[in-house]
Structure 1
């Protein structure tokens, strides 16, 4: 038996230990690795010969925090496929898993679930491990580089820890430049991790300690975005967001460099356009975006800042769609993808336009690209599954839904769609198992309760079905399918008055009940 050992301590960064393990497999099996390049390069960048260190400046777009779950799924699929080729048992020991970064723990957890009991690969995960040398305190410049790299790669827990170490090492009086980099980096990480309130406090602190124009301008815009999109829905405040955007624009107007003044102003105006679009004023948003594109193109050299221009055109595509002009939206998305072909978000949006226009094959193709670039986006898998099912490709749909749930077990739409597919196949055991798995994560979801109620009624458990459907209606009194199915169950239980007792049933479609009602009346006559 072969045994390998890897150190997973978070002081060695995101994916410590597991990155070395995956790189070792990938180096020895390049053909297998070629089908998982996006996730392997994200986890172990040294495998990518074209990889460059992240720029010190903040990138235009950040990865969503849930991307690490997608990376973990792809890496687990890669490892499981490799493990299936083993001719003799292999044990891999992972030390210091108890002190590992969140990315490492997530990947080890997914790996443990993905490998079958019969696998020749055994994971030996230890919370502790051999003694480590104390880590030297990095200089602020090194911490700042690490912070920028972590933010750019979407590893927000590590970014937050690094930023906090940096803030502890410098003061705004002693080193304002580094202090601000750590402060805004921490706020960015916290916003991505759904801790926007703490991020707000950091920007308030920055305004209290300095009046540096660059810092106060950036803090004003970032504060606006927290109020516009990152705070919980009940706490978002468009008026406050607009106030801070006005502040950012006022400060940007005072910049000495005319070129930088244009770029900054256009960038901040996109926040105003976002608020206008949300407020039901897409025409006003369109004017801002068109004006911004014209001003940017006037000051940028050909080919300069393509992602900035792509982002504005992407915004414009969404506004065109809101204005009922899908042709112009599609034209913008085609241009966006030509300029920034590595952004999975654009393919998802274009696929939706193709789908709405009945171009099913083009939509399936774009969802496939999004799955590859994302990688393994649950929403792309789900949407592609819907299209596959519409085309009568039930097995392909089932495979995509299974993948979506493997990446995101809480994807309720995918769960319900898979349950329905299993019911259509007559596999009530699998359907019930999937429905109960969904309810374990979302015990009060009306659609899942309704679906399980239908399954239980099909299996003759009418009392349980009645109870489940009643719970579904308590959560969503407008769920017509639950009213219909509960009425059918009560007809089957010979309780016609109870079936018709609630006036809301009048809104339900009665066509499916006529046969059962006629049978019930014959039994009672």
Structure 2
């Protein structure tokens, strides 16, 4: 089940012997994902660089411990874990979190920064069998080529190479690798290797079930929903174990409840499957297993309620799951952490900020190395006006693991609120450097640049953003501002007309079109648009602009009323 769309593209011919001796960084790496699994290229590269780096700067290696240990497990005996989440030492049945697919991008960025700090300029990395590379290596090489200048590191990729050896690994070897892949979030490899493991194990047996559960979970995480659904159905047809059926029902429910496209979520079907999971879990004979699984399933039903907008019902379910978790003693700490954070999210949404902060604090205390809840608590604090604690949380999230674009994006929001636009621009640029597909970073950076009259830079961000999201109302609004400033009023009008059409709730689109209509002599239209903008978001500058338009129409009393709503310079 390899992803044929992720193949590497040839970037040059195989190197000549003269080039090898002159500038080759290391022996040619065979990118074939078998028999070494995900990060075949990344692991080989790190095995070459880490020993050299440790002699030069042990601190540099330590600063990238998590990335190195994930990408090159063979170096774990040489690179101690400085940052590690608690699930690293938990038994298999207590490790319930599966990293999101985007985690590999974070790892790739961390490795790129390590390589850039270590490699002397003028080196070359050569990879053969590129068409057989794992998606983790495809992504890593893309990040290396994007973030390391070619005069520092030239990367040559080509499809040819030694023939692919048949995979002779047995089920136990494959299980070890699948387990590693799921721990680290290497979902493509987990799906591919797990499917192979299923063919080597007795259907319905314990090891077969372990492969099936990991493979279906990986497929769901990759958005390959129908394949995951088919595998869960195969589980139901193969097994008569109640615990297996409960897990399969939960997994099937989550395919709908967590579908990345809201339009494709069938919450009624999800509810049916999760109710079946709860019904089975209620009957499990082991008290400890029953308490865990029932709480786990109720938390899943809470997600369905949340998707329906029934926050109180979701909160009641999460609280019942926390009650069950008290029966587990010291076991399943990750389960408790997730439940506490979920309750915090619901409490915050319901307006109980103080209680939500307490739950976030309790969740973070369980695993201070897990970054997600620092971000969530930071956002809550920022919304409460607690800027310094929010800043501390964002920076804790940055330190907790590989580069995290969301932490820099959120900190940029804080800088914008403080009026520190240089710091905001620096953080937004960092986000885009880490993830060139981060649309909101382009939107915010374009808006800031336009406000600073750095119009060409803003226009470049608008163009990139619109390529990612054609017809985006925010970007069209900035484009309208830029065209207005350039005196291209017809082009500005076209952009702003489209912006209000696709984003009728966006106050800035109406406000900017109001200003433009005033400049075009359509004063009545300007008042109409500015009134609509004020209805959506009554900001002082909108009242000031409407006051000017109202005066132009001779509606002096209304203009004076708007002027009273506008802060006067001191």
Per-residue deviation, 1:100: 0.6
Is contact 1:384–1:400 with CA below 8 Å preserved after alignment?
yes
Aligned to 2:72: 44
Structure 2 residue 364 is the aligned partner of structure 1 residue 337: yes
1:34 to 35, 43, 62: 62
Which moved further from structure 2: 450-459 or 253-262?
253-262
2:189 to 140, 158, 161: 158
Per-residue deviation, 1:504: 5.8
- Seen in structure 2, the aligned counterparts of structure 1 residues 490 and 269 have a Cα distance that, compared at 3 Å, is closer
Q: Secondary structure at the match of 1:508?
A: helix
Structure 2 residue 444 is the aligned partner of structure 1 residue 417: yes
Aligned to 1:352: 379
Structure 2 residue 326 is the aligned partner of structure 1 residue 297: yes
> Using the alignment, how far apart are the partners of 1:201 and 1:71 within structure 2?
31
> Using the alignment, how far apart are the partners of 1:515 and 1:234 within structure 2?
42
Instruction: List aligned pairs for 1:159-174, cutoff 5 A.
Output: 159-172=190-203
1:190 to 219, 223, 227: 219
Give the aligned length. Answer: 511
Structure 2 residue 503 is the aligned partner of structure 1 residue 476: yes
- Seen in structure 2, the aligned counterparts of structure 1 residues 242 and 476 have a Cα distance that, compared at 3 Å, is same
> Using the alignment, how far apart are the partners of 2:458 and 2:526 within structure 1?
30
> Using the alignment, how far apart are the partners of 1:296 and 1:487 within structure 2?
56
Is contact 2:473–2:500 with CA below 8 Å preserved after alignment?
yes
Per-residue deviation, 1:477: 3.0
Which moved further from structure 2: 374-383 or 38-47?
38-47
- Seen in structure 2, the aligned counterparts of structure 1 residues 385 and 169 have a Cα distance that, compared at 3 Å, is same
Per-residue deviation, 1:304: 2.6
Per-residue deviation, 1:66: 1.2
Per-residue deviation, 1:326: 1.2
> Using the alignment, how far apart are the partners of 1:459 and 1:54 within structure 2?
60
Q: Which runs of 5+ in 1 are unaligned?
A: none
- Seen in structure 2, the aligned counterparts of structure 1 residues 424 and 171 have a Cα distance that, compared at 3 Å, is same
Which moved further from structure 2: 500-509 or 57-66?
500-509
- Seen in structure 2, the aligned counterparts of structure 1 residues 243 and 503 have a Cα distance that, compared at 3 Å, is same
2:262 to 224, 229, 233: 233
> Using the alignment, how far apart are the partners of 1:74 and 1:193 within structure 2?
22
1:211 to 240, 244, 248: 240
> Using the alignment, how far apart are the partners of 1:367 and 1:38 within structure 2?
19
- 1:249-270 C-alpha deviation (Å, 9 max, x unpaired): 2222332222222222222222
- Seen in structure 2, the aligned counterparts of structure 1 residues 253 and 229 have a Cα distance that, compared at 3 Å, is same
Is contact 2:428–2:445 with CA below 8 Å preserved after alignment?
yes
Structure 2 residue 129 is the aligned partner of structure 1 residue 101: no
Instruction: List aligned pairs for 1:240-251, cutoff 5 A.
Output: 240-251=269-280
Per-residue deviation, 1:80: 2.5
Aligned to 1:125: 157
> Using the alignment, how far apart are the partners of 1:473 and 1:392 within structure 2?
27
> Using the alignment, how far apart are the partners of 2:426 and 2:32 within structure 1?
36
Structure 2 residue 291 is the aligned partner of structure 1 residue 258: no
Aligned to 2:38: 14
Per-residue deviation, 1:160: 0.9
Is contact 2:253–2:273 with CA below 8 Å preserved after alignment?
yes
- Seen in structure 2, the aligned counterparts of structure 1 residues 484 and 210 have a Cα distance that, compared at 3 Å, is same
Q: Which runs of 5+ in 2 are unaligned?
A: 1-21, 535-541, 555-570
> Using the alignment, how far apart are the partners of 1:502 and 1:138 within structure 2?
73
- Seen in structure 2, the aligned counterparts of structure 1 residues 447 and 283 have a Cα distance that, compared at 3 Å, is closer
- Seen in structure 2, the aligned counterparts of structure 1 residues 368 and 26 have a Cα distance that, compared at 3 Å, is farther
Q: Secondary structure at the match of 1:328?
A: helix
> Using the alignment, how far apart are the partners of 1:344 and 1:53 within structure 2?
18
Per-residue deviation, 1:423: 2.5
> Using the alignment, how far apart are the partners of 1:142 and 1:470 within structure 2?
60
Aligned to 2:48: 24
- Seen in structure 2, the aligned counterparts of structure 1 residues 491 and 272 have a Cα distance that, compared at 3 Å, is closer
Instruction: List aligned pairs for 1:406-445, cutoff 5 A.
Output: 406-445=433-472
Which moved further from structure 2: 436-445 or 474-483?
474-483
Per-residue deviation, 1:122: 1.7
CA RMSD of aligned residues (A): 2.8
Per-residue deviation, 1:286: 3.7
Structure 2 residue 301 is the aligned partner of structure 1 residue 308: no
Is contact 2:531–2:546 with CA below 8 Å preserved after alignment?
no
> Using the alignment, how far apart are the partners of 1:511 and 1:358 within structure 2?
25
Per-residue deviation, 1:112: 0.8
Per-residue deviation, 1:363: 0.9
Per-residue deviation, 1:33: 2.8
Which moved further from structure 2: 322-331 or 153-162?
322-331
Which moved further from structure 2: 332-341 or 51-60?
51-60
2:425 to 385, 398, 401: 398
- 1:462-507 C-alpha deviation (Å, 9 max, x unpaired): 2222222222223223333223323433443x4427x729966641
- Seen in structure 2, the aligned counterparts of structure 1 residues 501 and 388 have a Cα distance that, compared at 3 Å, is closer
Is contact 1:197–1:231 with CA below 8 Å preserved after alignment?
no
Is contact 1:89–1:121 with CA below 8 Å preserved after alignment?
yes
Q: Secondary structure at the match of 2:513?
A: helix
> Using the alignment, how far apart are the partners of 1:394 and 1:479 within structure 2?
23
